Amino acid sequence: MNLVSEVEAAFAPDGALSRAEKHFLPRPGQTDMALAVANAIEGAHALVVEASTGVGKTFSYLVPALLSGERVLVSTATKALQDQLFGRDLPRLIEALGLPVSVALLKGRSSYLCLHRLTSSREDAQAQGSAPARALARIEQWAQVTRTGDLAELTGLDERSPLIPLVTSTRENCLGAQCPSFRSCHVNLARREAMAADVVVINHHLFFADLAVRESGVAELLPSVRIAIFDEAHQLNETGVQFLGSNLTTGQLLEFSRDMLASGLQLARGLVDWQQVVGATEQAARELRLCVGRHSPGTKLRWTDTSPEGVGRSDWHTALEGVQTSCLQALAALDTVSEIAPDFVRLHERASQLAERTRGTFCRCL
């Protein structure tokens, strides 16, 4: 029996799905989509499907993917859908179809607790007040028992909490193999499990992160597969542009400043006037934001001249020069302590990247 026939049988009135789900009813649209996916897998060609709400798209692509017997990547646009696929839909289908399939969930760095940053976050949390300090104590308690380190396990922790950047890592601040907690890193554990699984549930950002890493020739984050499924694929274009493009934001500058101050005070207090260096970077970030004026979050300004639309050329150039100067000042300070800890080596790389992006932005203005 070929894949198309197996899929047709699974969706039949007396098929595996109807036997496993007492409320299952065959729907022509769902079956048609599943057969189209099966044909695409067998024929090794791309398929784009648009279907209305209620068709049952998730089962339509998961059933043929599971029955194919191949390794599969399923990518979603949101972490909520990731959790739904991993925790509900896939286990139900695997049981219904009676398949010996292993599944792994892999999210981006910001979803996992970073043990190294957790140890250095106490001072920052206490400086923000008693509520963040109590929340951090709760995270520290949970860190002793969690296996995955997935912050979604922590009920009541708002994903917009200012604590999350303090206890998670990013591509920019991760120390990699130089990290003291590298062996017990939750991100690395999740990646190892993903590399061994038959089905890996990821998100679009992670897919593009893997693409960038593969192109660099350094490593890979995801297993190689023949079948990749993108749910909510209409968001792929924007995600790809955001991830693979080069950008300079005030958020990057402020995050860099916060990390530099925390590491400086913890590991090299008294060797550099960290408050002064960090203050200059924060001030430059504020000036850059202020020169753009008041705009709602997410506003995009046309930039076809020497400065973005509605922004004075002189003010824009002055703000960029301020950012460039503050980054160079940070580089000079970090040069003096780079041998003390790997944290400073990574901070030096980040300062250099920010200075380079500022230089590139300034060159575009001329």
Tell me whether residue 192 is in a domain. no
Q: Which of 186, 205, 234 is the last residue of a domain?
A: 186
pLDDT, position 123: 62
pLDDT tens for 165-214 read: 889 998 888 888 889 999 999 999 999 999 999 999 999 999 988 887 77
Who contacts 284 (Cβ-Cβ below 8 Å, separation ≥6)?
253, 319, 322, 323, 325, 326
- Please, what is the angle between helix 28-43 and helix 3-10, to 10°? 160
Considering the domain architecture, whether residues 135 and 281 belong to the same structural domain is answered as: no
Domain that includes residue 93, residue range: 3-102+197-243
Q: Specify whether 205 is located in the same domain as 288.
A: no
Name which residue leads in pLDDT, 160 or 63.
63
Do residue 287 and residue 267 come from a single domain? yes
Q: What is the pLDDT of residue 292?
A: 85
Q: Looking at the structure, tell me whether residues 345 and 210 fall in a common domain.
A: no
Shared domain check, 179 and 275: no
Residues 180 and 319 in one domain: no
Number of domains making up the chain: 3
What is the mean predicted confidence (pLDDT) over 265-285?
A: 94
Domain containing 321 — which CATH number? 1.20.1440
User: Does 23 map to a domain?
Assistant: yes
Say what the pTM is.
0.81
Statement to judge: residues 265 and 125 lie in one domain: no
The answer to whether 59 and 17 have CB atoms below 8 angstroms apart is: yes
> Any residues with CB less than 8 A from the CB of 349 and at least 6 apart, and which?
none
Look at residue 215 in the predicted model and tell me its pLDDT: 63
87 and 133: one domain? Answer: no
* Residue 76 resides in a domain: yes
Bigger pLDDT: 244 or 333?
A: 333
Between 24-33, 240-249, 280-289, 331-340, the lowest mean confidence (pLDDT) is in 240-249
Q: Does 86 map to a domain? A: yes
Please write the tens of the pLDDT for every residue from 131-158: 777 888 889 999 999 999 999 898 888 8
Query: Which residues touch 226 (CB under 8 Å, ≥6 apart)?
Result: 44, 70, 71
Q: Using CA atoms, how far apart are residues 123 and 258, in angstroms rounded to an integer?
A: 11
- Residue 191 within a domain: no
One domain for residues 254 and 360: yes
The answer on 289 and 175 residing in a single domain is no
Tell me whether residue 41 is in a domain.
yes
Query: At residue 331, does pLDDT exceed 90?
Result: yes
Q: Does residue 260 share a domain with residue 281?
A: yes
**Quick one: 130 and 147 in the same domain?**
yes
Residue 354 pLDDT exceeds 90:
yes
Establish if 163 belongs to a structural domain: yes
pLDDT above 60: residue 365: no
Residue 334 domain-assigned? yes
For 140, what's the count of Cα atoms within 13 Å in the CB-facing half-sphere?
Answer: 15
Residue 217 has pLDDT above 60, yes or no: no
